[in-house]
Amino acid sequence: MDKNELLKDLHIDLNGNTLVIAYKGTTLGSVQVDWDAVLNGASARPKPKQENVKQYVEGCDLGWC
């Protein structure tokens, strides 16, 4: 299917703080909008950094795990 043909049947509606994406009348999904971040230009919230965790599995040092 051609991309332009696909886009003709794709619809995006705004319901309050929710963008609703539909294709040929069938809802594909919805996205919550953080208007403060959009309007104030705030960047995405940073993800908390996870520490690397090394685990010891008994027997792996022998090469049979």
Query: What is residue 29's predicted lDDT score, i.e. its pLDDT?
Result: 93
pTM of the entire predicted model: 0.51
| 24: Cβ contacts below 8 Å, ≥ 6 apart | 9
Q: What is the pLDDT of residues 17-54, one digit of tens each?
A: 999 999 998 999 999 988 888 888 756 566 677 777 77
Distance between CA atoms of 13 and 47, rounded to whole angstroms?
Answer: 29
pLDDT at 63: 59
pLDDT at 26: 92
Q: Which run of H or E residues covers position 57? A: none
pLDDT at 37: 80
Q: Domains of the chain: which residue ranges?
A: 1-43
Name the percent of the chain in helix, strand, coil, to the closest 5.
Answer: 25, 30, 50
